[in-house]
């Protein structure tokens, strides 16, 4: 007997991070019983995004065009580059600080056990960018977690190889915390007092 459409939906919902069998079941019932329009809207939004959202050719952030708005802007300082783990981190820095340089969005952090290495983070592209000579400062804003720190050290090496100064956010970001949850004041202070990596 093949799986019913309801069973297929419950199974498909489990691709979402943090959603187990019971949550998926509850989600499916809720949509079917109380919000079919919401379910249809989610279906369409998923289809559109999976098909048409790509990566910015320069910074790897998500974008629908060839370049994201920040990389395409003529008013950003091209000598500063800030590496972040996620688009949410980029947004947090953008909103909390007066930073006017460019970004590089890793879309993750080095995590060998999960099969995420330099290749998955697009680090060849970052190296090539640093080698072009326009960037003088790489601000490494990965999270202050074990994997984030390991990633930071790897990025610092890439920077030094290209004769670019590797900078790290100042202490102030709580250890073990996630950057995107830090309050604006702390993040702004940490960003302002960044120091060269030893």
Binding site for Zn ion (CB under 5 A): 56, 58-59, 61, 68, 71
115: left (phi over 0), alpha (psi -120 to 50) or beta: left
Does 57 bind a second copy (CB under 8 A)? Our answer is no
Q: How far apart are CA 46 and CA 136, in angstroms?
A: 39
Does 74 bind a second copy (CB under 8 A)? Our answer is no
From the list 81-89, 129-137, 140-148, 164-172, the region that binds a second copy by CB under 8 A is: 81-89
- Which of 105, 19, 11 has its CA nearest to residue 62? 105
Kind of pairing, strands 137-140 and 77-84?
parallel
Q: How far apart are CA 99 and CA 72, in angstroms?
A: 16
Q: How far apart are CA 46 and CA 65, in angstroms?
A: 18
The angle at the Cα of 187, spanning 85 to 130, to the nearest 5 degrees, equals 45
Q: Which is nearer to a second copy, 149 or 180 (CB)?
A: 180
8 Å CB contact between 89 and 121: no
Does 32 bind a second copy (CB under 8 A)? Our answer is yes
Q: How far apart are CA 59 and CA 81, in angstroms?
A: 10
Q: How far apart are CA 30 and CA 25, in angstroms?
A: 9
Residue 160: CB minimum distance to a second copy, A: 28
Residue 115: CB minimum distance to a second copy, A: 10
From the list 14-22, 73-81, 92-100, 156-164, the region that binds a second copy by CB under 8 A is: 14-22
Does 72 bind a second copy (CB under 8 A)? Our answer is no
Choose among a second copy, Zn ion, none what residue 56 binds, the Cβ cut-off being 5 to 8 Å by kind: Zn ion
Q: Which is nearer to Zn ion, 13 or 56 (CB)?
A: 56
| From 39, 101, 118, 172, residue interacting with a second copy (rule: CB under 8 A) | 39
Q: What residues line the site for a second copy (CB under 8 A)?
A: 4-6, 8-9, 11-13, 15-18, 22-23, 25-33, 35-36, 38-50, 52-53, 62-64, 86-88, 107-108, 180
């Amino acid at each position: 007997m093949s799986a019913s459409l309801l069973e297929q939906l419950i199974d498909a919902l489990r691709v979402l991070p943090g959603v187990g069998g019971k949550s998926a079941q509850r989600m499916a019932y809720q949509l079917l019983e109380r919000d079919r329009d919401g379910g249809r809207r989610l279906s369409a939004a998923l289809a559109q995004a999976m098909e048409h959202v790509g990566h910015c050719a320069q910074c790897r952030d998500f974008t629908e065009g060839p370049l994201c708005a920040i990389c395409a802007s003529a008013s950003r300082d091209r000598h500063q580059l800030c590496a972040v783990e996620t688009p949410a981190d980029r947004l947090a820095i953008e909103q909390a600080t007066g930073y006017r340089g460019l970004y590089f969005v890793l879309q993750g952090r080095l995590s060998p056990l999960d099969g995420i290495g330099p290749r998955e983070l697009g680090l060849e592209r970052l190296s090539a960018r640093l080698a072009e000579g326009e960037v003088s400062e790489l601000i490494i804003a990965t999270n202050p977690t074990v994997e984030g720190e390991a990633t930071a050290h790897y990025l610092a090496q890439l920077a030094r190889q290209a004769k670019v100064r590797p900078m790290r956010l100042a202490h102030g970001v709580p250890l073990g915390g996630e950057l995107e949850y830090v309050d604006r004041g702390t993040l702004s202070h940490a960003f302002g007092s960044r120091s060269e990596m030893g």
